[in-house]
Amino acid sequence: MSSRNQEQADAVVRALMEIQSDPEKVAEHMKETRIRVLGDRTIEEALSDGDVGKVLRYLQTISGGQNG
């Protein structure tokens, strides 16, 4: 993973940790949960595809109390 990709992945993990403080649950959510607005992909899959912006927008939406 390039340093830029790692920085982006770290930003996503930080955003998730603001929503859910349990690191195990964060890791599980990133790997297991398929998200409709991400094209029915997991966060991990979306990051692998380079869709960091979409992931961060999704996390902003759910942290604001709206359905993601």
Q: Considering its fold, how many domains does the chain have in total?
A: 1
Residue 68 located in a structural domain: no
Could you tell me if residue 15 is inside a domain? yes
Residue 52 lies in a domain: yes
Residue 55 covered by a domain: yes
Instruction: Give domain status of residue 51, yes or no.
Output: yes
Measured CA to CA, the distance from residue 49 to residue 25 in angstroms comes to 22
Amino acid 68: pLDDT: 43
Tens of pLDDT, residues 21-42: 999 999 999 999 999 999 999 9
Residue at 53 is within a domain: yes
Domain range enclosing 37: 3-63
Amino acid at 35: I
Please indicate whether residue 64 or residue 32 has the higher confidence score (pLDDT).
Answer: 32
